[in-house]
Chains A and B, each alone.
Chain A
Amino acid sequence: MNSSIVISQSDGRPMYLQIMEQIKQKVAVGEWAPGEEIPSIRMMSVALRVSVITVKRAYLELEREGVIFTQHGKGSIVAKDPGLGPRLYDQEFEEHMEQVVRIGSLLGLSEQQIAFRLTETAIRLNEAQQNDAVSSDEDLAKETL
């Protein structure tokens, strides 16, 4: 269970973020079920060969985000909140949107321009998806003939 988390040294992000992300993915995917016990900070530190303080930080942040819950002296468990998956995706969505806004302001776009471009992109991608669906149906139809 422990060794399935892999830390990459060439990943530029701080290690605690990598750990957090991988734990969140495990929870989102269901590998670690709500209410299930997760390895203690020290055990995780030994398994990942990463300092205790880094793992501690990751766990603290995860607790702050409501992903895990630490009982004093008894270790940590995955939080029992349902909808953790959707909540995590929602978080990612927020983070990406903030990125878009930051880059947009660097480009000198106004708030309306950014919103406009966002809507444009959404429409364009939707159309492309529908077209793909149509053409793959056609391909499928051709093959069955």
Chain B
Amino acid sequence: MTDLAVQFTGVTKQYKHFTLQNVNLELATGSIMGFVGANGAGKSTTIRILMGLIHQDSGAVKVLGHDMPADQAAAKRDIGFVSEDMRLYGPATVAWHMEFIRSIYPQWDKLYAEDLLRRFDIKKEQKVKGLSHGQRVKAALLLALARRPRLLVLDEPTTGLDPVARREVLAELTAVLADENRTILFSSHNTLDVEQISDQITFIDRGSIIDSANKEIFLDGWRRLRLMLPPNTPLPQLPGVVEVGGSNRLPVLTISHFDPAMVAACQQAGASVQAVDPMTLEEIFVVNVQNRREKAIA
């Protein structure tokens, strides 16, 4: 039984114009989960419930063994949190913030903090209000990373960063996992990043989790089948076809749970298989969301 860093069971939260419904989530210790969803899908709400900042209407939330939100003070001792809408105190310096955090968390690693300052290229004595957006994000990440927390919860950590800064941040995040007792949950629009460093991917759309799976297995399941149909041949019926595109003679099937036997099935039905293309996470994400939107309208 794997140790779970985060566990959501049947979590629901109702707002006037939005409902988070029946969220079930499991994040194993020592892994990275990438949390993907459109704006307003419920990523931030889920993350805030995780941190105990919002009280769920129903359902159980356990983080690092603590019940949330009741036990949040204890849980937050081992959690590092950075969110896109978070700001530091403008008139104070980076050094002041570092000292402030150090005074609260005994696990603060001074040498690691200095190392991060150097690598993130942030000046300690600079006031936060004088930092660029990217530097501010990196400063907030530094404050979270230097404590070596057991769980890192990051809401859009690379949004708005230039490509170099993004690489630096991703390098730091993967370096965290050298310790198999540490876990990361991060939400991002940057599907390339999610694809590269996540062990597990969770998709959320309009308040519901639509997929949560091992990344390799997940990506293996999605394929685009390019077929060539002889005239007057009907489209082969395959399970799990999410979308049909292309033309009548050259259809393109988007499949969510691909099985190599499907190729033979197509050939037996008279279609010739031109290509079996894997899909990027971005393509999968878009197909998933668009498909659900069309179904909702229908």
Binding site for B on A (CB under 8 A): 9, 12, 14-16, 42-43, 45-46, 49-54, 57, 106
Contacts and interface: CB of A to CB of B under 8 A. Distances in A.
Contacts of B274: 106
B287 to A, nearest CB: 18
For the complex of A and B, the 9 pairs showing the least CB-CB separation, nearest first, are: A53-B199, A49-B174, A51-B199, A46-B178, A57-B216, A51-B197, A46-B175, A46-B174, A51-B198
B177 A49 contact: no
Interface SS majority for chain B:
mixed
B144 to A, nearest CB: 18
A51 B214 CA distance: 11
B221 interface: no
Given A46-B178, A106-B274, 4 more contacts: A15-B196, A46-B174, A50-B174, A51-B196
A76 B209 CA distance: 37
B171 A49 contact: yes
A51 B32 contact: yes
B180 interface: yes
A16 B214 CA distance: 14
Contact of A51 (B180, B192, B215): B215
B175 A50 contact: no
B197 A50 contact: yes
A9 B178 contact: no
A42 B272 CA distance: 42
Interface of B: 30-32, 167, 170-171, 174-175, 177-178, 180, 192, 196-200, 214-216, 219, 272, 274, 278
B252 to A, nearest CB: 17
B215 A53 contact: yes
A88 B100 CA distance: 57
Contact of A43 (B178, B196, B199): B178
A52 B177 contact: yes
A103 to B, nearest CB: 11
Contacts of B272: 106
A119 to B, nearest CB: 26
B215 A54 contact: yes
Contacts of A9: 192, 196
Interface centre among A9, A49, A50 (most CB of B within 10 A): A49
Interface centre among B170, B196, B200 (most CB of A within 10 A): B196
A61 to B, nearest CB: 11
